Structure 1
Amino acid sequence: MTLVVAWAGFDDKSRHRRKVSSLYIAADSRISWDGTARYDGHQKVFASVKHPEIFGFCGDVTFCNMAISQILTKIDSNILFSSEESNKADIIAAEISQMVREYPSANNLRNSQIIYGTRIATQFHFFLFEFKSREVLLSEWPISEERGRKIYFGGSGRDSFNDNWINVDHEKDENHMTTRNVYHCVARTIEQCADSQVGGVPQLVGLYRVGAGRQFGIVKDGTCYFGGLPCKDLPNLTNLEWRNDNFERVDVNTGNLMPGAHPQPMR
C-alpha cells in the first residue's frame, strides 16, 4: 500500500495577508505482494515537465500508475488542455472515467485515490479522484491556513502519519505551521511505520508560483535517490533540486546545505 500526503506552503512576509506559494505531494516508495514480497522503488508521485500539474496516488498500483502516466503524457504532449483552462480537473476526470470503464478490476478500485495539484493563473487548487464501482468521483479540497497547511493524507500509513502529526501540530513545536513540519512528519512516519507495506525512501514533487511541476531528488544517509531508487551513477544529477530528511536544500555531491539554504532541523 502507501502513505501519500499533500500540503501547501504560504508566503509569510505579511502575516495579515498570507498567500499560497507552493504545493507539495510526498509518498513512500514501497509496493508489496501477499504481505511478504516487496519492492522499494515504485514511483508514486508525478510532475509534468511542461505544465503546473502534480499527482500522487494510493491503492491499486497498476491502475493508478497507468492512469497518471497516460494523462501526464497527454498533458506534456499538449493535447489534453492548456495550462490556463479552468476545467482541467473535469477533463482529467473524464479521462480516468474512460479508463475505468475498460479496466477489468474496476471493482477493486474502491480503496484507491488519485490526488491532483494544479495552478490556474495565480491560484493553486487541489483535487481528489475517488472510485465507486465504475464511477469516478471528483472533489476539490480547499487550501487554507485553517487546515494547518496539511491538505490530505491517505493510504495504509495514514493512521501512523496522523499519530505523528498530532505530536507535532502545536504552537510549542518550533516547526509549527511550516512546510518542513509536514515533510518531517512524512519522513518520520515512513521510517518508523509499523505497517510493513509502507517503507523505502520518500518521494517528493512540488509546484510553485511560476513554472511547471518539479520532481525532487532525495538525499538520505549519504545516498541520493530518485523515485525511491539509488541514482548516484546518473550523469546530470545537478539538474534536480535535492532535499534531505529535514527538507533542507542540499548539494547532491556533498550532502551539505546549498549556499543560502536555511537549516530546518527536525525536532
Structure 2
Amino acid sequence: MTLIVGWLACDQRGPCSAYIASDSRISNNKSFYDNSQKTFALKNTPDILGYCGEMLFTYQILTRLTSVCDAGMLLSSDMDYKDRNEIIFNEIKKAHSTYKFNNDRIKIYHIGRNKKRLFDANVYIWDGRVWTNSNIDTNYSNSMKLFSDGSGKNEFEENFLNFKNENNEGTSRNYFHCFCDIVKKIKDKHTGGVPQLVGLYNGNKFNGMYHGIIIDGQAYYQGLKVGNMYEMSNIRWYNEKFEICDWGTKKRQAGAMIQPISRKATP
C-alpha cells in the first residue's frame, strides 16, 4: 500500500534540499483511513524517513524512534550520516525480531545530510526472511528522483511522463506537482488522502522538518486536517504548486517564488 516518492533538489551551487512525500491512507481489503502519518522528521539530526508496505509495526517503530531521537536519547548531532543510518537500522531490526503479528514486507526510506553537507539515502527492507540495508545512489549535479515505491508507484511513473517537458524538466517542483496530481486521481485503492511532506536542507542549522500542505484553502499537517484554532505559523506551508504559503491567508506567501505547474504533455 501507499505511494511514496523521494527526490533531491539541486541548484547552480549543488544539492540544496531533499524531500519525501507520501499519501495519507492506510488500508486493508475492507476499509481505509486517510489521516495516517507516514513521513517522519528528526528535529535534532538532519534525517527524514518514510515507509510503504506493512503498517502496524512500521508506524509503531518510526513513531517510537522519532520520539526517542527527539529526546536526544539515541543519536547525537555530531554523528555522521553513516553512523546514524546504522543505529536506526539496527534499532528497527531489534524491534522487529520480537514482532509476531504478521510477516508482511516492509520498506523504510531514509534520507540524511552528512558532514560534507551532502545528502545520502538508504532503504531498509524486510523481504519476509531477512533485513537488508541498501544505499540509494545520489547524483549531485542535478535535481533527481531518488525513489518511488508502493502500490501507487506505476501510476506515478506513468503520470510523470506527462509532466516531463521543457518548462519544468529537471526541477525539484516537478516531482511534487506530479505527486499531488496523481494522488487526486489515482486508481489504486490503497493510495489516498492528502499529500504529506518532510524536508531536509543544506545548511548545518537545519534538521528534519515537517511541512504543512494547503489544498483548496484547507490546511493539513502530517495527513490531518487542522483548523485556525491551532497556532502553526512556525511551520513551513506548501500548496500543490510547491509554493511557500502564508498560514493565515492560506495563499502564496508574499515574496515567495512562483512555481508554475508543468504543461502536461499529451500521452
Q: TM-score, normalised by structure 1?
A: 0.91
Change (3 A) 1:218 1:238: same
Q: CA deviation digits over 1:71-127, x for unaligned, max 9?
A: 222211222222332321111111111111101045222xx2000111122121111
C-alpha separation in 1, matches of 2:109 and 2:188: 22
Q: How does 1:28-43 map to 2 (within 5 A)?
A: 28-34=23-29, 36-43=30-37
Change (3 A) 1:106 1:39: closer
C-alpha separation in 2, matches of 1:174 and 1:186: 17
C-alpha separation in 2, matches of 1:101 and 1:9: 36
C-alpha separation in 1, matches of 2:176 and 2:98: 36
CA contact (8 A) 1:93 1:136 kept: no
In structure 1, the partner of 2:160 is 165
Q: How does 1:64-75 map to 2 (within 5 A)?
A: 64-75=58-69
In structure 1, the partner of 2:93 is 97
CA contact (8 A) 1:31 1:39 kept: yes
User: Does 1:181 pair with 2:181?
Assistant: no
Counterpart of 1:266 (choices 242, 261, 266) is 261
SS at match of 1:243: strand
CA contact (8 A) 1:4 1:58 kept: yes
C-alpha separation in 1, matches of 2:31 and 2:75: 40
What amino acid sits opposite 2:54 in the alignment? D
| CA-CA distance at 1:26 after TM superposition | 0.3
| CA-CA distance at 1:133 after TM superposition | 3.0
Tell me the matched-pair count: 257
Gap runs ≥5 in structure 2: 263-267
User: Does 1:60 pair with 2:63?
Assistant: no
SS at match of 1:108: coil
Percent identity between the aligned chains? Answer: 33
Q: CA deviation digits over 1:165-214, x for unaligned, max 9?
A: 12223xx3311111110000110110111112111110000000121111
Q: CA deviation digits over 1:32-62, x for unaligned, max 9?
A: 232x421110000011122211110001111
SS at match of 2:169: coil
SS at match of 2:19: strand
Gap runs ≥5 in structure 1: 13-17
In structure 1, the partner of 2:265 is none
C-alpha separation in 1, matches of 2:200 and 2:255: 21
C-alpha separation in 1, matches of 2:178 and 2:53: 21
Counterpart of 1:79 (choices 63, 73, 76) is 73
Larger deviation, residues 197-206 vs 251-260: 251-260
| CA-CA distance at 1:156 after TM superposition | 0.3
C-alpha separation in 2, matches of 1:248 and 1:99: 39
CA RMSD of aligned residues (A): 1.6
In structure 2, the partner of 1:49 is 43
Q: How does 1:107-146 map to 2 (within 5 A)?
A: 107-109=103-105, 112-121=106-115, 122-144=117-139
SS at match of 1:25: strand
C-alpha separation in 1, matches of 2:74 and 2:44: 13
Larger deviation, residues 70-79 vs 113-122: 70-79
In structure 2, the partner of 1:15 is none
| CA-CA distance at 1:234 after TM superposition | 3.7
In structure 1, the partner of 2:196 is 203
User: Does 1:7 pair with 2:2?
Assistant: no
C-alpha separation in 1, matches of 2:9 and 2:175: 10
C-alpha separation in 2, matches of 1:207 and 1:229: 21
Q: How does 1:233-244 map to 2 (within 5 A)?
A: 233-244=228-239
Runs of 4+ in 1 over 3 A off after TM superposition: 145-148
Larger deviation, residues 177-186 vs 247-256: 247-256
CA contact (8 A) 1:84 1:120 kept: no
